[in-house]
Chain A
Amino acid sequence: MAAPVKVERYTRTSRIALPVAAVIVIAAATVPAWGSSALMKQSVTFLTLVALAQMWNLLAGYAGLVSVGQQAYVGIGAYTLWVFAEKFGVNPFLCVPIAGLVAAAFSVPTAGLAFRLRGGYFAVGTWVIAEVYRLLITQISWLGGGSGVSINSAGKIERATREAVVYWWALGVAIGAIVLVYLLLRSRRGLALTAIRDDETGARGLGVNVFRSKLWVYIIAAFGTGMTGAVIYLNLLRAQPEAAFSLQWSALMIFAVVIGGLGTIEGPIVGAVIFFALQQFLAGYGTWYLILIGVLAAGVVVFAQRGLWGSIVRRWPIDLFPVRRRLCLETVCFLEESPRQSAEEPGRLTAGGLAPPEEPPAD
């Protein structure tokens, strides 16, 4: 009889992590009951950063789509919120999911153009399209033009209620983004994405529809970024095209992901914590925090590509969000080869069977 073989994904740490995470989420949800107004505003900034970083990581870390134009969806989210709340009289809190859907709708034609470009040209292409959206809004006086818009209907809601609901939305998009990425990666499509990340040609050879997989990821990321944009502007209450479509949003998400660790779920969370901590710590020194974070990110991307979380995992095998499959024979489990490891070293022979070349015989 064959030995009982099964495929496992949960690890010991992940079994502990799940209830711990549940406790943290429940505790975090109670903040409006006891936290100060300032704490909640800060938390919204942090939580939306986590959500943005998760969405960007999904794009770049899993689909290999380095976009520097995701600010398009932050801006579209902000303006969708304004249009539906102010022009159509929808409850501003209900505009958040609408903002996600509108952003997703805009992402389809955007992808149609941007997907014609590869690598770095894709990056700048997405950026140009974000600029087009910004310029269009600046030119349309119905959308407030260049001077921007105020979300008055949200401002009229009683402050305590508004702050609490905005906070819950921020918590919702942060947790939602993490859960969404986690579930997506564990699904069939997630397996296809992991294959694409490791070897696009190989994945195509195995029957993965690379274009469709990437398109799905792009649309999902736009949806999440759009919702988050709406939450950010529910917090700020005033949107200008310059700020809503600013490249700074891309800098935020990219730096957080790169510092934390590209291609992991934990990485963007760690990166967001570091980004936020530096931002708060250096709040009195202008934009020096951004310079410091930029230096850190450029250093990490070159000299520690797995980011901080990757460096931690290399030392201690922690897997809080297990998306990899392990083959278990009775009690022993084999982890599949870490995909990032092989992706890092293209073209290098790793087969163990190759013997070192023999020394030429001496004369």
Chain B
Amino acid sequence: MVWANDIIQGILLGGLYALFAAGLALVFGVMKLVNLAHGDFGILAAYISLVLVGMLNINPFYTLILVMIIMAVFGYLIQRGLFNFAMDAGPMQAILATFGIAIIIQNLLLEGFTANSKGLDAGRIENEFIRISGQVVIGWFPLITLLTSVVVLFSLQLFLGRTRMGRAFRATADNQRAAQLMGIDNRHLYGMAMALALAVVAIGGVFIGIRTTFTPSAGPFRLIFAYEAVIIGGLGSLWGTLVGGIVLGIAQVLGDHIHQGWGMLAGHLVFLAILAFRPQGLFAKQVQ
């Protein structure tokens, strides 16, 4: 039963990873850009929530909408102001530009908020849980996180499949030049994709802040986990990011159970094993 509990906790953790991985996969799918600042954007969102909580004295849950809007606007602006030009310069330049932004965000947060760890206090919900049996306990907040990620992925799928803009996203993902010939303004579209990705990662960032503490240098770890979830799940598969996140989550929880401190290592090793034996990921290319 202890193991069953571990697996359940891992699945719940996977929901959190999927919230970070979905935006990463979306941006890569639409514009073939690996955003090295993705994790830092999430942590930035957590800090924005922290500031809003301090200013308005409200529960961090209520800041969520505002943080998502701020991050979406920020994403649109940085895509149109910098990343679009970087992508024009070449794929290598684009990666390096996102790396530069990652380092800038980390150090700006360090200057603004010091290296001390911060947390978001969501009140009672953090400690409420459902007891299934003696050793199997499901926390309400991790459950909400997982459900949120499912809702987010489902909404993204509906958006991509059913809306006009979603169709433009898929067209651009398939063939950017042909899509442009059909009248799609790819610069605006890339801006919208980044806006959407950062709105989603904002949820992830705020949830991270509620679940645990965070520091300015927490971003790279978030990026790495999101990236591992994407690769494990299979490049280009939206639901694959959730499966990848869950596999990663289970590996980490089990690793930590076997030996304190082995969790992260176990996650990385599962990722490397996938890379070695099934580099296309668990799910082949499906959605995009």
Which A residues have a C-beta under 8 Å from some C-beta of B? 60, 64, 66, 68, 113, 116-117, 119-121, 123-125, 127-129, 131-132, 135-136, 138-139, 247, 250-251, 254-255, 258, 262, 286-288, 290-291, 294-295, 297-298, 301-303, 305, 343-344, 346
Task: Indicate if the CB atoms of A301 and B101 lie closer than 8 Å.
Answer: no
A228 vs chain B, min Cβ distance (A): 20
A116 to chain B: which residues have CB within 8 Å? 275-276, 279
User: Which residues of B in the span 66-80 have a Cβ within 8 Å of any Cβ on A?
Assistant: none
Q: Which of B124-132, B159-167, B223-231 contacts A (4 or more CB under 8 A)?
A: B223-231
Can you list 16 pairs linking A and B with CB atoms under 8 Å apart? A66-B95, A113-B276, A119-B95, A120-B36, A123-B99, A124-B223, A131-B224, A139-B261, A255-B103, A286-B111, A288-B111, A291-B104, A301-B89, A302-B86, A305-B90, A343-B90
Chain A residue nearest in CB terms to B279? A116
Bound-complex Cα distance A247 to B223 (A): 13
Task: Indicate if the CB atoms of B34 and A291 lie closer than 8 Å.
Answer: no
| B85 beta carbon closer than 8 Å to chain A | yes
Minimum-distance CB pairs A-B, first 8 = A120-B34, A298-B100, A294-B104, A287-B107, A135-B265, A294-B103, A124-B227, A302-B85
B110 to chain A: which residues have CB within 8 Å? 286-287
Instruction: From known contacts A113-B272, A120-B33, A120-B95, infer whether A344 and B90 are also in contact, taking CB-CB under 8 Å.
Output: yes
Bound-complex Cα distance A132 to B92 (A): 25
B41 vs chain A, min Cβ distance (A): 15
B231 to chain A: which residues have CB within 8 Å? 117, 121, 125
B218 vs chain A, min Cβ distance (A): 12
Categorize the interface residue count of chain B.
35 or more
Chain A residue nearest in CB terms to B84? A302
| B271 beta carbon closer than 8 Å to chain A | yes
| B28 beta carbon closer than 8 Å to chain A | yes
A138 to chain B: which residues have CB within 8 Å? 261
Bound-complex Cα distance A64 to B268 (A): 25
| B139 beta carbon closer than 8 Å to chain A | no
Task: Indicate if the CB atoms of A123 and B95 lie closer than 8 Å.
Answer: yes
B39 vs chain A, min Cβ distance (A): 10
Bound-complex Cα distance A255 to B94 (A): 14
Bound-complex Cα distance A132 to B269 (A): 8
B89 vs chain A, min Cβ distance (A): 5
